[in-house]
Amino acid sequence: MGRMSTAAADRRPRRERRNKGKRWVGWLIAAVLLIAVAAIAWAGVRGILAANELRRALPVANTIQTDIMNGDAAAATSAASGLRQRADKAHALTSDPVYRVVEKTPWLGPNLRALSGLSASAASVTGNGLDPLTRLAGELNADSFKPQNGALNVAPLATAAPTLAKADTAVQAGARAAHAVSTKGVVAPLATAVDQYTTKIDQVAAFTGAASRAATLLPGMLGQDSPRTYLLLVLNNAELRASGGIPGSVIHVTADHGSISFDSQYSGSSFGPYDQPIAPLAAPTNELFTQITGEYMQDVTLTPHFDQSAKLAMAMWQQRFGQSVDGVVSLDPVALKYILQATGPVTVAAGTPQQTELTSQNVVKALLSDVYARFSDPNAQDAFFDVASGAIFSKLTAGQFEPAAMLTAFAHIGDERRMRVWSAKPEEEKQLVQTTLAGGPPKSAAGEQRFGVYLADGTGSKMDYYLHTSVTTGQLTCSNVGPLYVVEITLKNGVAPDQVASLPEYVSGGGSFGVPVGTMRTQVTVYGSPDVEFGNAFDGKGGAEPVKFVKDGDRSVAQYVVDVKAGESSTVRLVYNPKKGKTGKPAVDVTPQINPVSVSRGKFECGTVLK
């Protein structure tokens, strides 16, 4: 009994030690869990605080660009300081070691990484990008772009170029960092905030990029060192071409130390036809748009490659007048509308006793519709177009406008891609091709796949005044074929059937080219991004749509022709397959037109797309 009691007594300490060991393990696990929970809570709270700082920063960011353009250095500096403080605080809140550890957790981690990525981007942009811009606000503002005594003072632009380049470098880096932020596994509100921030930083990047390139390019292109000569093509959107319309008017321009003079002006129809293309055509251009691209001035803009259009126009001018030029610029009447918003009305008289006042409200209708009812003679129509556009440009170059309003006007023109610029000087063209001013097939930004939809009139008339275009893009994944992109194009003929008989023959085409009066014939050319391949095309009823397929460099190009009767519409859906590993949101550029183009994202079903 004594021995048993002793043995039992010996076992109790061992059990107690084991129990104490278990308790210590339990306490240790509890402590680790407590620390983990505390760390997660700490990181979560700091993430919420950082998100709040970024949310408060966005309204401030919206005011800085306006302050800079208005030359209000004090307001811009104050706003930038507040923005920088919020961005720095958000960056600090998302940079401590505990936060970085919790970033690696499965659920909370993606959300925290998204916040830290945005915070780092914002801190970099505000610290290295905004400071140089706000310092310039008092020296370079909207008034700096107003001609004095007929000349724009380009010296301040040249002086500002290095500072603007430094700011742009920082902003572009911030934009790339924002696009690198993943929203996979991120809660919906934060994913929306990421998209909002990325959109805003892209807008800022577009602003700084344009400002930097303008400061680098404009002094030289406006003749700071030696006179420059250009062709200005005024396009007519009532007869569409890829870049916006046929060149209705061709103006020879000289720029000398910021002073711009209009030397001579001719109708686009007065150039050609030539027996053969005025210069060699690229093989895809010849296959898609035929040799007429190089045989008529009015057809040089059939191709979306504006550099090719410009070289053809320059060759036609040189053959006719023996003069070369330093570059080519194109604008359309909708761009003239925006310019008139800044200059105010102009009065023109051409071919009739009465004068015509052109305003931003009536200029598009006057130049692209009324003129054909007013004048039956095509030469008189061309003369009115020439005189009107010349009067508007004369007022522009004389400095008769509000500078801030003019900058806004050119921002609209750029956003809608109604202006194209090509330089014969390689170093300048290298800069221009980085912008939307260069034209050409669409360039995809980070995280997107951009398509180009280009229209050309096939009626031989001015029916496109009544054209209404809508383009819907979509992205989906189908089990049997994988991911797909969809581009759906709808063209509507806005002429009512009972209106056809009253159309001037020059507008309706009078049945030329085998097209019935009142019908629109349109050639549609769709360029894919380099990362997709054309799959197939369907008409609005789900049947196969016959298309021409061409490779233009590394791009798949689909082209078809459609006739749309008065009051009716046509829809064609094109399907593309992305190359392996290539993704991105679909986006689209569309030929600038008279009527606003509707561009939207749609939802498509596999059963509908693949039938």
Residues 234 and 214 in one domain: no
3-state secondary structure of 261: strand
CA–CA dist 102, 604 (Å, integer): 39
pLDDT at 580: 85
Q: Examine residue 428 and state whether it is found in any structural domain, yes or no.
A: no
pLDDT at 348: 85
Dihedral angle of Cα 96, 100, 102, 104, to the nearest 10 degrees: 180
Q: Examine residue 433 and state whether it is found in any structural domain, yes or no.
A: no
Residues 272 and 391 in one domain: yes
Q: Which residues of the chain have pLDDT under 50?
A: 1, 3-5, 7-8, 24-50
Residues 598 and 474 in one domain: yes
Q: What's the 3-state SS for 557-574?
A: EEEEEEEECCCCEEEEEE
Residues 213 and 236 in one domain: no
Residues 237 and 347 in one domain: yes
Residue pair 307/438 in contact (Cβ under 8 Å)? The answer is yes
Residues 594 and 507 in one domain: yes
595-to-114, 200, 236, 326 alpha-carbon distances in Å = 40, 27, 13, 33
Residue pair 516/461 in contact (Cβ under 8 Å)? The answer is no
Q: Examine residue 86 and state whether it is found in any structural domain, yes or no.
A: yes
Convert the pLDDT of each residue in 79-127 to its tens digit. 666 666 666 665 565 566 655 665 666 666 776 777 777 777 777 777 7
Q: Of 171, 198, 219, which one is at a domain's C-terminal end?
A: 219
CA–CA dist 208, 376 (Å, integer): 48
Convert the pLDDT of each residue in 326-362 to its tens digit. 999 999 999 999 999 999 999 887 555 567 899 999 9
Q: Examine residue 438 and state whether it is found in any structural domain, yes or no.
A: no
Q: Examine residue 505 and state whether it is found in any structural domain, yes or no.
A: yes
Q: Examine residue 601 and state whether it is found in any structural domain, yes or no.
A: yes
pLDDT at 43: 37
Residues 189 and 257 in one domain: no
Q: Examine residue 537 and state whether it is found in any structural domain, yes or no.
A: yes
391-to-145, 345, 394, 492 alpha-carbon distances in Å = 20, 10, 5, 34
Structurally, the chain folds into a number of domains equal to: 3
Q: Examine residue 385 and state whether it is found in any structural domain, yes or no.
A: yes
Residue pair 127/85 in contact (Cβ under 8 Å)? The answer is no
Instruction: For residue 310, give the CATH number of its domain.
Output: 3.40.630
Residues 521 and 568 in one domain: yes
> What's the CA angle centered on 460, arms 320 and 246, to 5 degrees?
45
pLDDT at 606: 87
Q: Of 175, 192, 219, which one is at a domain's C-terminal end?
A: 219
Provide the domain limits for residue 604: 445-609
pLDDT at 15: 53
Residues 119 and 209 in one domain: yes
Instruction: For residue 509, give the CATH number of its domain.
Output: 2.60.40
pLDDT at 390: 86
Residues 45 and 182 in one domain: yes
pLDDT at 468: 98
For residue 188, give both structure tokens.
């919906």
Residues 285 and 403 in one domain: yes
Q: Of 390, 423, 456, which one is at a domain's C-terminal end?
A: 423
Nearest of 117, 101, 82 to residue 42 by alpha carbon: 101
Residues 368 and 255 in one domain: yes
